[in-house]
């Protein structure tokens, strides 16, 4: 007999080396955006009530996702002025589900326990349906959330309808709120009358999400 | 930098600013905010009516903090000014210098760290009266961020004398002039952009850019808008006529048909300064003359100074020493036992011993040269994340090497013989087989040894990686020479043979004993594999090991005939293919968007009450058909259909005894698994499937169940 794998292996090695270059070259980082019209990425995160909350739970309802971080000055702008609470309350009146999402990693700004999150909600008079805790950032990355705040609206059939900023003036100043167009309120109003949000995609502004 | 340190530094900046205020002011006004010190600079210490000149806001930021470019990237805001000057003073918009890319986790910002000088134009009205000083002032708002973001502001104001003749502030003029070199310039050439689906390729033809890029540290396209993913890697190429950048489109803002792109091409020079070229790219073909070479290759060869000869010799010497000590590292030692065995075997024949030594040397050096060449190649291709030991970062390579080690172990144990010796073919062939074996041993030692080099001589190799390719290769070859040296020296030392006991039966025992370090190495590689590819990967590799043993056994039985050789060779090749196939295809669950939850009769009742379509997978680990069908269920299109139709995906795992599952199987007339049930949304009895399923069948079934067909 003649087992020839000794001779063959260097050749195999060379083939492997060539293949490894190709494999390495094809490794490019992917980026998510969740543009309007796309199916909303599925998620299942634990709420501050300790319950698993998933996209499928709200089939048939309009959902607003709000990325938030209580230490971020841009979030404070919209909470101190009650702009966010008012938008939430108006949405709730129309039966819209409002999910506030915290994607700050442990130890970073905005990372809070369930109790702290509930206290923040109570203290600020906020009206989210649930506050979701996403400390590993999986939900944030799936949606491509960039800033706090970063807002999404999902239609009852599970499609992204709006993705972007809370309003039209990119600043950290409360004074700008009355002058700005509230994109989320406008999009919800459009959806209510069966029209598509306009604009459906804007550039969000704020602090970076603390992944 | 820690937050505390950043705060302390901020305090220092503030104190310096406070002291600055008490000094006699030249044409500037300074104030501090918690993390920055702001100053107004003017080119003039006295202006004339109708004069126009440049002013600037200078921000000195605390270490670790940054402010933003006009397009901040994924988050942030650019600085703004709210002017409060005399009516005769008109200040223009900020002229933003070319920014730096500031990565933050998975996001990307564009901005400035350290010191920023933001120029603006100042015009003095003709009506201004000589002798009556004017005020220039503003509140400058800026979002300043480290790991957290704070909106800060400084309110600055200064008095500008109006005289019959201008007098300049030389210091302020110099600082403003320096920043002007960083302000993006208009192109003298032209810019084009090609859009292919999700990629933009921007081509810029410009002589000044082409020559600047040749000595640049980095090149990047900074968009004015949101058309690209800021954090996506950019592939930069350059040529005689300019530069090209490929970048991923953000299709949310760059709709199909949006084929123009505006922004700047920014470069970072060797001294850390930035320069920019304004780009208004119209749709058009990118000429080849701006994309002949990958930029990073040019930069690494030209930007890093070549080591002076004495340091180069030191680096080469260190590399040799590193290779030498590598012989003692735990990952190489087992492989060297192969060498030890063959050395003992050949020790009686000085000629054969020398041949072995040289073949071993060739194997080691070749392997290190190839590793070096691949690293150089990967670096040239823009992958800066590769280091020594990268080869074992691919799970299938790890799996293949576990099998190689296993085979070597079997060989040393005497399960089979290599080359022609078992056939009793002439001595010359056996010699050749021995030399080939030595060569292979060398390759193997280098391959498994290279990951150990990393921590051991990281600095030397690190320095090598900034050098041109020939020096990188030289360093790697020196490591190889060092690794091979002890055995080569022994091979050429006749005295060595005399200290060894006479050849005899003990050699076989010795060789067999050395097979166990081989098996241990295989075990170590499987352990590595378990971290890379999980339990499934290890199972695939063990499956490969069995196939390999079978092939070897087949060869010892039927290897005499040509057909037998072909058959056994095919089995052995297949044995290596098994773990490669098994570990290279990503685990199916990674792609799954709808993961199965556990089945129970109660859960079915609940879901039926909700009016959802339910797909139940009755399965077991030991059921092969079930595993094949898993592939169809994890098909991306099926998963998407599941997600779209909000299908409840349940799994009843019958791997272990379970009477509830068995009752359910029997109820549906099935004696075992697989069984698939699809419950319609409208309620009622489920549809049954068994045997092999296709992705199309599953989609069809759930769509029918959802009533959407």
Q: What percent of chain A has pLDDT over 70?
A: 85
- Does the beta-carbon distance from B420 to A2 stay under 8 Å? yes
Residue B407 CB coordination number (10 Å): 27
Report chain B residues whose CB lies below 8 A from the CB of A9.
404, 440, 443
Find the largest Cα–Cα distance for chain B. 112
Interface of A with B in 179-208 (CB under 8 A): 201, 203-208
Residue holding tokens 């979002």? B143
Q: How confident is the model at residue B583 (pLDDT cuts 50, 70, 90)?
A: low
Domain boundaries, chain A: 5-208
pLDDT at B111 over 80: yes
Interface of A with B in 123-142 (CB under 8 A): 141
**CB B426, CB B334: distance < 8 Å:** no
Of B75, B250, B383, the CB nearest to A206: B75
CA distances from A168 to A147, A201, B84, B94, B315 (A): 15, 12, 25, 22, 58
- Top residue of B252, B338, B560 to mutate, by most chain A CBs within 10 Å, is B252
User: Per mean pLDDT, which range of B55-64, B462-471, B474-483, B652-661 is the poorest?
Assistant: B462-471
Q: How confident is the model at residue B590 (pLDDT cuts 50, 70, 90)?
A: very low
Q: How confident is the model at residue B436 (pLDDT cuts 50, 70, 90)?
A: confident
pLDDT tens string A66-116: 999 999 999 999 999 999 999 999 999 999 999 999 999 998 999 999 999
- Does the beta-carbon distance from B232 to A31 stay under 8 Å? yes
* Helix or strand (DSSP H, E) at A87: helix A83-93
**CB A12, CB B573: distance < 8 Å:** no
Which of A50, A74, A43, A58 lies closest to A141 in space, CA to CA?
A43
Of A17, A28, A35, the CB nearest to B252: A35
Q: What mean pLDDT do residues B323-351 have?
A: 70
pLDDT tens string B205-256: 998 898 888 778 889 999 999 989 898 888 888 888 899 999 888 888 887 7
Give me the interface pTM, i.e. the ipTM: 0.75
Phi, psi of B539 (to 5 degrees): -65, -45
Q: How close is the nearest chain A Cα to the Cα of B646, in Å? A: 6
Of A4, A5, A109, the CB nearest to B148: A109
pLDDT tens string B74-100: 888 999 999 999 999 999 999 999 999
HSE-CB at B679 with a 13 A cutoff on CA atoms is 26
Report chain B residues whose CB lies below 8 A from the CB of A108.
147
* Measured distance CA(B546)–CA(B549) in Å, rounded: 5
Report chain A residues whose CB lies below 8 A from the CB of B147.
108-109, 210
- Does the beta-carbon distance from B226 to A205 stay under 8 Å? no
pLDDT at position A159: 93
More confident residue, A19 or B646: B646
3-state secondary structure of A25: helix
Q: How confident is the model at residue A31 (pLDDT cuts 50, 70, 90)?
A: low
Q: How many CB pairs under 8 A join A and B?
A: 161
**CATH number corresponding to A5-208:** 3.40.30.10
């Amino acid at each position: 007999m003649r087992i020839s794998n000794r001779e063959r292996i260097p050749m195999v090695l060379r083939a492997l080396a060539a293949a490894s270059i190709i494999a390495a070259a094809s490794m490019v980082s992917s980026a998510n955006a969740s543009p309007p019209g796309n199916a909303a990425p599925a998620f299942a995160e634990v709420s501050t009530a300790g319950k698993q909350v998933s996209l499928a739970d709200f089939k048939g309802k309009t959902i607003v996702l709000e990325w938030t971080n209580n230490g971020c000055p841009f979030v404070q702008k919209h909470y101190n002025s009650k702009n966010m609470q008012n938008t939430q309350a108006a949405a709730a009146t129309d039966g819209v589900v409002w999910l506030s999402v915290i994607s700050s990693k442990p130890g970073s700004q905005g990372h809070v326990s369930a109790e702290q999150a509930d206290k923040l909600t109570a203290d600020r008079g906020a009206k989210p349906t649930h506050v979701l805790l996403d400390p590993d950032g999986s939900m944030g990355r799936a949606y491509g959330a960039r800033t706090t705040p970063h807002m999404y609206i999902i239609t009852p059939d599970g499609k992204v309808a709006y993705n972007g900023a809370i309003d039209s003036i990119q600043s950290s100043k409360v004074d700008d709120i009355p002058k700005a167009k509230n994109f989320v309120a406008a999009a919800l109003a459009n959806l209510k009358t069966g029209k598509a949000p306009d604009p459906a995609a804007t550039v969000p502004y704020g602090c970076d999400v603390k992944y | 930098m820690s937050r505390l340190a950043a705060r302390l530094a901020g305090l220092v900046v503030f104190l310096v600013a406070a002291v600055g205020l008490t000094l006699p002011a030249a044409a500037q006004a300074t104030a501090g905010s918690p993390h920055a010190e702001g100053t107004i600079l003017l080119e003039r210490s006295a202006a004339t009516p109708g004069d126009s000149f440049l002013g600037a806001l200078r921000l000195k930021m605390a270490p670790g903090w940054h402010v933003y470019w006009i397009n901040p990237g994924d988050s942030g805001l650019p600085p703004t000014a709210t002017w409060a000057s005399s009516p005769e003073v008109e200040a223009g918009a900020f002229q933003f210098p070319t920014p730096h890319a500031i990565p933050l986790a998975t996001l990307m910002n564009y901005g400035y760290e350290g010191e920023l000088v933001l120029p603006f134009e100042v015009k003095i009205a003709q009506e201004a009266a000589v002798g009556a000083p004017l005020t220039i002032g503003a509140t400058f708002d800026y979002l300043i961020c480290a790991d957290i973001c704070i909106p800060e502001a400084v309110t600055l104001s200064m008095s500008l004398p109006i005289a019959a003749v201008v007098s300049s502030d030389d210091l302020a003029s110099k600082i403003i002039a320096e920043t002007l070199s960083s302000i993006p310039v208009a192109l003298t050439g032209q810019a084009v952009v090609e859009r292919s689906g999700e990629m933009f390729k921007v081509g810029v033809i410009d002589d000044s850019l082409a020559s600047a890029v040749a000595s640049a540290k980095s090149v990047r396209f900074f968009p004015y808008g949101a058309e690209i993913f800021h954090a996506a890697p950019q592939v930069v190429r350059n040529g005689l006529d300019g530069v090209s950048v490929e970048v991923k489109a953000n299709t949310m803002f760059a709709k199909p048909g949006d084929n123009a792109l505006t922004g700047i091409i920014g470069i970072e020079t060797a001294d850390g300064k930035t320069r920019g070229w304004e780009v208004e790219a119209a749709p058009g073909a990118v000429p080849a003359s701006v994309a002949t070479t990958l930029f990073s290759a040019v930069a690494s060869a030209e930007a890093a100074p070549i080591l002076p000869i004495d340091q180069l010799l030191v680096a080469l010497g260190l590399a040799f020493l590193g290779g030498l000590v590598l012989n003692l590292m735990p990952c190489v030692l087992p492989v060297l036992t192969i060498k030890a065995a063959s050395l003992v075997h050949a020790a009686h024949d000085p000629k054969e011993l020398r041949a072995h030594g040289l073949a071993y040397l060739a194997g080691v050096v070749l392997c290190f040269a190839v590793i070096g060449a691949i690293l150089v190649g990967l670096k040239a291709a823009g992958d800066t994340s590769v280091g020594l030991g990268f080869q074992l970062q691919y799970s299938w390579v790890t799996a293949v090497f576990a099998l190689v080690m296993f085979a070597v172990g079997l060989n040393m144990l005497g399960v089979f013989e290599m080359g022609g010796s078992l056939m009793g073919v002439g001595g010359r062939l056996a010699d050749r087989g021995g030399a080939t074996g030595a060569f292979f041993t060398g390759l193997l030692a280098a391959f498994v040894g290279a990951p150990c080099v990393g921590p051991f001589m990281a600095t030397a190799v690190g320095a090598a990686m900034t050098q041109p390719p020939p020096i990188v290769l030289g360093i790697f070859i020196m490591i190889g020479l060092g690794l091979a040296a002890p055995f080569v020296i022994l091979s050429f030392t006749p005295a060595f043979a005399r200290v060894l006991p006479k050849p005899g039966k003990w050699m076989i025992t010795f060789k067999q004993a050395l097979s166990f370090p081989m098996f241990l190495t295989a075990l170590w590689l499987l352990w590595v594999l378990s971290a890379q590819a999980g339990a499934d990967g290890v199972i695939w590799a063990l499956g490969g090991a069995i196939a390999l043993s079978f092939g070897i056994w087949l060869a010892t039985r039927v290897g005499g005939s040509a057909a037998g050789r072909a058959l056994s060779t095919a089995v052995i090749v297949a044995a290596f293919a098994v773990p490669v196939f098994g570990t290279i295809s990503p685990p199916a669950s990674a792609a799954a968007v709808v993961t199965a939850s556990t089945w129970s009769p109660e859960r079915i009742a609940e879901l039926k009450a909700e009016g959802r379509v339910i797909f139940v997978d009755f399965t077991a680990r030991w059921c092969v058909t079930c595993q094949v069908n898993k592939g169809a269920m994890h098909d991306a299109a099926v998963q998407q259909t599941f997600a779209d139709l909000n299908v409840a995906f349940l799994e009843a795992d019958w791997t272990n005894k379970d009477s509830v599952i068995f009752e359910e199987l029997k109820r549906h007339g099935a004696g075992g698994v697989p069984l698939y049930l699809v419950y319609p949304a409208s309620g009622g009895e489920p549809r049954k499937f068994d045997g092999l399923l296709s992705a199309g069948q599953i989609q069809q079934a759930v769509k029918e169940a959802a009533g959407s067909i």
